[in-house]
């Protein structure tokens, strides 16, 4: 009988509530930003300011993506109307996404010496484009709301969110996978995110499933910003797609040295600062809160995934949660899921945006009447630099261990999808 791994008993609250983030919040975190995380659209001054550091400039230069923002600025300068600007933004955003996907999948020239599977050039190049769009001064009037709409179009197109298109036909399984931007960049601005790297590596690919069939994978990447989630970016991207797929999984970076299939997702935001150094604490804001459940559950075939040999990292069926039991005043950690009537304080994936994307995607699944659709969240191992490259101030932006571990994580996610698709 296959051995089913579960989260260790007695898991501490501090461990359960880890999700995308594994470090204390920066002291300068604030909680008073409005929708969009900053003036004029998604993102804002904090993310933009990091572009001026040496490491992002090096990542852009060594990948050849240092030309993206200047080329975008020149194209934008040629727009003679707002309608032309819209077309330019959508075209250039989609071009960036496709360029990053092609680079990750080995297509086109290998410009620069940075590893082709690296997700960081996409993130920093997008921020450069957004900076150009914020400072753009055309001959025609563009108000704050109109500029914000352009930034939103750029975000969506450069993240693959508006290009999720599975081919027509039968005889194969349609899979949707999402990843995230890098985060905790004030701790170490060199950081990448293996979930974003996986999205780039798998977008538009065919994989062989464990039962010998085929699956087509389409992907998208999401920001690490509370406000974007409150504004419905997940639901907007996935609402039309979920009814047309056979399997979906949201993916994010989680714990050191292990994969987790998160069994339960909680309706709670724990407040860890996002990429704009903004915090949010409280119930996950969704439409129709009167019918909002405290918990949603994975429908991924977690037993089959955990039992399979998918790669070098152990894979756990994580059933731990933190809840306030019905009739109680304080939170407790439970190793085997929530109790009836409890209030969520952390899902298996914690109380950050990885838990939230899992909660939102599975809640959307249920509200669309797709309760039987296999879907849930996969946490990858933390992507780390080599043992001699741990100082953010003096360390290199990449090293052989960093490259090997990213490739191993991506390959294991691919194998996990192959098992999940065959078992669904």
DSSP-derived secondary structure for 299-344: -S-HHHHHHS--SSS-EEEE--EEEE-TT-SS-EEETT-PPTT-EE
Using an 8 Å Cβ cutoff, are 339 and 5 in contact? no
pLDDT for res 21: 37
Give the span between the Cα atoms of 366 and 212, in whole angstroms: 30
pLDDT for res 42: 60
Site of tokens 């975190």: 29
pLDDT for res 19: 38
Per-position DSSP letters for 165-186, written without gaps between them: -PPS-SSSEEEEEEEE----TT
Instruction: Report residue 151 as tokens.
Output: 């930034």
Alpha helical stretches, state H, 105-189 = 120-135, 144-158
- Which residue, among 223, 43, 248, has the nearest Cα to 164 in the 3D structure? 248
pLDDT for res 109: 87
Instruction: Report residue 360 as tokens.
Output: 């939102």
**Helix, strand, coil % in the chain, rounded to nearest 5:** 35, 15, 45
Alpha helical stretches, state H, 179-337 = 194-202, 226-230, 233-238, 302-307
Using an 8 Å Cβ cutoff, are 58 and 50 in contact? no
Burial class (CB in 10 A: 0-12, 13-18, 19+), 411: middle
Instruction: Report residue 24 as tokens.
Output: 């204390």
Residues of the chain with pLDDT under 50: 1-40
Q: How many CB atoms lie within 10 A of CB 39?
A: 13
β-pair type (295-297, 264-266): antiparallel
Give the span between the Cα atoms of 112 and 115, in whole angstroms: 9
pLDDT for res 303: 98
The residues near 190 (Cβ < 8 Å, ≥ 6 apart) are 55, 385, 392, 395, 397
0.75 cut: is pTM over it? Answer: yes
């Amino acid at each position: 009988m296959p051995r089913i791994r579960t989260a260790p008993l007695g898991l501490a609250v501090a461990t359960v509530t880890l999700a995308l983030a594994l470090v204390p919040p920066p002291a300068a975190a604030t909680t008073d930003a409005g929708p969009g995380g900053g003036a004029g659209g998604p993102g804002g001054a904090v993310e933009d300011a990091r572009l001026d550091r040496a490491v992002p400039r090096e990542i852009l230069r060594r990948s050849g993506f240092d030309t993206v923002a200047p080329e975008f600025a020149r194209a934008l300068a040629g727009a003679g109307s707002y309608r032309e600007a819209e077309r330019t933004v959508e075209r250039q955003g989609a071009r960036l996404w496709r360029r990053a996907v092609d680079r990750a999948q080995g297509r086109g020239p290998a410009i620069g010496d940075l590893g082709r599977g690296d997700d960081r050039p996409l993130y920093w190049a997008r921020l450069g484009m957004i900076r150009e769009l914020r400072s753009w001064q055309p001959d025609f009037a563009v108000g704050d709301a109109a500029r914000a709409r352009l930034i939103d179009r750029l975000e969506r197109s450069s993240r693959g969110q508006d290009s999720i298109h599975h081919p027509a036909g039968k005889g194969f399984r349609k899979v949707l996978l999402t990843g995230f931007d890098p985060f905790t960049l004030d701790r170490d601005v060199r950081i990448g995110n293996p979930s974003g790297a996986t999205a780039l590596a798998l977008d538009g690919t065919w994989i062989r499933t464990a039962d010998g069939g085929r699956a087509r994978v389409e992907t998208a990447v999401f920001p690490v910003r509370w406000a974007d989630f409150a504004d419905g970016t997940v639901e907007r991207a996935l609402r039309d797609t979920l009814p047309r797929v056979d399997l979906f999984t949201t993916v994010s970076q989680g714990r050191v040295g292990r994969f987790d299939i998160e069994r339960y997702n909680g309706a709670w935001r724990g407040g860890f600062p996002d990429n704009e150094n903004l915090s949010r604490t409280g119930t996950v804001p969704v439409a129709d809160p009167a019918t909002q459940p405290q918990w949603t559950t994975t429908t991924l075939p977690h037993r089959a995934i955990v039992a399979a040999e998918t790669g070098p990292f152990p894979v756990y069926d994580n059933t731990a949660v933190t809840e306030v039991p019905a009739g109680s005043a304080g939170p407790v950690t439970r190793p085997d899921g929530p109790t009836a009537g409890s209030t969520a304080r952390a899902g298996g994936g914690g109380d950050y945006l990885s838990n939230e994307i899992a909660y939102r995607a599975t809640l959307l699944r249920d509200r669309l009447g797709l309760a039987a659709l296999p879907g849930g969240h996969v946490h990858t191992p933390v992507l780390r630099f080599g043992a001699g490259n741990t100082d953010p101030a003096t360390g290199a932006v990449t090293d052989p261990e960093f490259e090997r571990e990213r490739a191993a994580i991506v390959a294991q996610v691919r194998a996990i999808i192959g098992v999940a698709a065959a078992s669904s």
